[in-house]
Amino acid sequence: METIVFSLLNGVIYGLLLFMLSSGLTLIFSMMGVLNFAHASFYMLGAYFAYSIAGVTNFWIALILAPVLVGLVGAAVEKWGLRSVHANGHVAELLFTFGLAYLIDEVVKIIWGRNAVDYRVPELLDFPMFELFGAQYPAYRVFILLVSVGMLAALWFILNRTRAGLIIQAALTHPHMVGHLGHNVPRIFMSVFGAGCALAGLAGVIGGNYLVTDPAMAVQMGPIVFVVVVVGGLGSLTGAFLAAMLLGLMQTFAVGIDASFADIFGWLGLSATSELGGITIASLAPMIPFLMLVLILMVRPRGLMGDREL
């Protein structure tokens, strides 16, 4: 029972954090047809910006200012970088974001050093919210939950219920028509890219002190985010949400299960002392995202909710 409750709570939080990161990526992809390899680097920038801003002022100002700053950096990258590369096709764009990821990595190392920085949870939220089965549940996790749900609602509202959302959705599928109607399509692209990066930045702000803020965080998070986007279906926000939740829950549940292959397949005569039988479900947890990626590409190449083939 306690395993289920804890896994559920942790899984949902991890899933929401993953979704916040991947929503920007999938938005950018559906708009420009380009997988932004530097996306996780914007997540890292968000965490570092928040650390610096929180050092001078406080966490709450950083919570607002850091994503805005990351969004501005993203917009600038689109305007002066990606846009001119765009003329040379998708491969050039892909390579551009690839290079950018390394560039941001190095810049972060030069400015903030190679070690983890002391980016802390704000004191106001640094207390155990409640106690469940003997383990404390930090208030900051509940805060992450609230921020993520708030962001999810806001994103949904903007895309589906506002005029700006309407234009963005139109520009995604019919950019020329939108242009002919008098909208500035490059500016829409720029703002969507910026907003996508800002979302990654926000994930960095609340994820950086929940996990660890160090120069390796982008490299560690990058592959998982791609898995979420591909499994969910490239370009689909709903899909990304489902995939993020699925991944978050599956990973935490797998860790919580104490069974090994021998327990499950014991009826086949698999003993716990054999190489295969000794493998525990928990040890498979980090493999799950990539297993899902491979399976999805085999069975359903366009992802859970995607509408185009890879």
Partner 1 sequence: MKLVKSAALAAAMGFAAMGASAETVKIAFIDPLSGPFGPSGDAGFKQWSHAVSEVNEAGGMNGADLEMVPFDNKVSPKESLVQLQKAIDRGIRFIAQGNGSSVASAIIDAVNKHNKRNPGDEILFLNYAAVDPAFTNEKCSFWHFRFDSHVDMKMSAATDWIAERDEIEKVYVIGQDYSFGKAVASAAVGQLEEKRPDIEIVGNELHPLGRVKDFTPYIQKIISSDADAVITGNWGADMVLLVKAAIDSGLEAPILTYYGGSLGAATAMGEAAVGQVMQISEFVENYPTTDEQIARIEDFEETYSENDYYYHRAYNAVHFLDMAAEKAGSNDPVDIAFAMEGMTYEGPYGTVTMRAEDHQVLQDLFVSTFSADVERDVEDTGLGWTASDEARIPASATAPPTSCEMERPSR
Residue count of the chain: 310
Shortest Å, Cβ 116 to partner 1: 3
Q: Among 133, 163, 268, 298, indicate the residue that binds partner 1 (CB under 8 A).
A: 133
Q: Report which of 213, 239, 235, 256 is spatially closest to residue 115, judged by C-alpha positions.
A: 213
Restricted to residues 58-97, the positions that interact with partner 1 (CB under 8 A) are none
Contact status, residue 209 vs residue 119, Cβ threshold 8 Å: yes
Q: Among 12, 14, 96, 288, indicate the residue that binds partner 1 (CB under 8 A).
A: 14
Q: Among 56, 80, 130, 134, indicate the residue that binds partner 1 (CB under 8 A).
A: 134
Q: List % helix, strand, coil for the chain (3-state, nearest 5).
A: 75, 5, 25
Shortest Å, Cβ 256 to partner 1: 5
Cα-flanking dihedrals φ and ψ of residue 238, to 5°?
-60, -45
CB closer to partner 1 out of 59 and 140: 140
Count the residues of the shown chain that bind partner 1, applying the rule CB under 8 A. Answer: 41
Contact status, residue 239 vs residue 305, Cβ threshold 8 Å: yes
CB closer to partner 1 out of 5 and 295: 5
Q: Report which of 180, 254, 208 is spatially closest to residue 40, judged by C-alpha positions.
A: 208
218 three-state secondary structure: helix
**Can residue 115 be called a binding residue for partner 1 (CB under 8 A)?**
yes
CB closer to partner 1 out of 100 and 247: 247
d(CA 138, CA 162): 36
d(CA 229, CA 217): 18
Q: Which stretch binds partner 1 (CB under 8 A): 41-49, 82-90, 205-213, 236-244?
A: 205-213
d(CA 13, CA 130): 16
Restricted to residues 280-309, the positions that interact with partner 1 (CB under 8 A) are 280, 282-283, 285-287
Contact status, residue 201 vs residue 39, Cβ threshold 8 Å: no
Restricted to residues 242-281, the positions that interact with partner 1 (CB under 8 A) are 252, 255-256, 258, 280
Q: Among 80, 111, 118, 309, indicate the residue that binds partner 1 (CB under 8 A).
A: 118
Binding site for partner 1 (CB under 8 A): 2-3, 6-7, 10, 14, 113-118, 120, 128, 131, 133-138, 140, 210-212, 214-216, 219-221, 252, 255-256, 258, 280, 282-283, 285-287
